[in-house]
């Protein structure tokens, strides 16, 4: 049986499975919010993420769609990806915690092209703090669309 000692071993550098329980909880919290028109946890059986589509009302016409995709793993690793589609081009920003050869475990890949290597940062240890930091940063960007 897969038990916690196996997970401990996986956390040691062999990756860890997606934390389905955390994703469900996260989707449950976000799904009631006015920011999003759609929040789907593991949309089909296979996908391993929570996909949130921002209400287009927070964007001018130049932004066709904006979405946030969230994946969390049982060892606390995560990748949170914000994406905008524009008439010409895209904007991406990623908050990551996972092994990489270009950055520390905690890092971000800032827009416009979310380049590699990204910037080393230190994310909060609590997933809720990570997520509230992310949502706040996105809201700041959204507000930026409406200033001259």
Partner 1 sequence: MDEPRSDLKADADERAESPDFESLTPPRELVRGERTRDDFFDAVLGLDSPATISDIADRAGHGTDAAREYLEWFERMGIATQVTESPATYERNQEYLRWRRIQRLRTQYTTDELLEYLSAETERDEEYADRFDVDSPDAVSITAHASEVDRTVEDVWEDVTAWQTTRRRIALLERAITTGSGGSSEERTAV
Residues in 9-48 that interact with partner 1 by CB under 8 A: 9-11, 13-18, 20-22, 25-26, 29-30, 33-35, 45-46, 48
Q: Within 75-104, which residues bind partner 1 (CB under 8 A)? A: 75-77, 82, 86, 91, 93, 98-102
# chain residues binding partner 1, by CB under 8 A: 72
* Paired tokens of 132: 């509230």
Peptide bond before residue 8 is cis, with ω within 30 degrees of 0: no
- Write the CB contacts of 122 (distance below 8 Å, at least 6 apart in sequence): 106
Asked whether position 62 contacts partner 1 by CB under 8 A, the answer is yes
Asked whether position 53 contacts partner 1 by CB under 8 A, the answer is no
To the nearest 10 degrees (0 to 180), the angle between helices 20-30 and 127-144 is 40
Pairwise CA distance, residues 46 & 33, whole Å: 25
Q: Within 100-139, which residues bind partner 1 (CB under 8 A)? A: 100-102, 110-112, 116, 126-129, 131-133, 135-139
């Amino acid at each position: 049986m897969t038990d916690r000692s196996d997970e401990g071993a996986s956390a040691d550098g062999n990756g860890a499975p997606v934390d389905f329980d955390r994703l469900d909880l996260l989707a449950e919290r976000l799904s009631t919010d006015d920011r999003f028109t759609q929040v789907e946890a593991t949309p089909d059986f296979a996908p391993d993420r929570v996909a949130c589509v921002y209400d287009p009302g927070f964007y001018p016409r130049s932004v066709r769609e904006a979405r946030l995709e969230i994946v969390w793993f049982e060892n606390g690793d995560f990748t949170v990806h914000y994406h905008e589609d524009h008439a010409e081009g895209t904007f991406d920003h990623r908050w990551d915690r996972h092994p990489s050869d270009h950055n520390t475990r905690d890092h971000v890949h800032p827009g416009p092209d979310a380049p590699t290597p990204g910037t080393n940062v230190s994310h909060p240890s609590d997933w809720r703090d990570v997520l509230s930091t992310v949502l706040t940063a996105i809201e700041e960007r959204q507000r930026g669309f409406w200033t001259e």
